[in-house]
Amino acid sequence: NVIRLISHCICYIYNFSYSSRS
């Protein structure tokens, strides 16, 4: 499923952004 892949990417990017922001 594409949605699953996108969701995973978003989750990964979100986590990375959050970590970098901290």
Identity of the residue numbered 13: I
Global pTM exceeds 0.85: no
pLDDT digits (tens, 9 = 90+) for 1-16: 899 999 999 999 999 9
CA 10 from chain centre, in angstroms, equals 3
- Rounded to whole angstroms, how far apart are CA atoms 10 and 16? 10
More confident residue, 21 or 17: 17
Per-residue pLDDT at 14: 95
Determine the 3-state secondary structure of 13 from DSSP: helix
Q: Identify the band that residue 21 occupies on the pLDDT scale cut at 50, 70 and 90.
A: confident
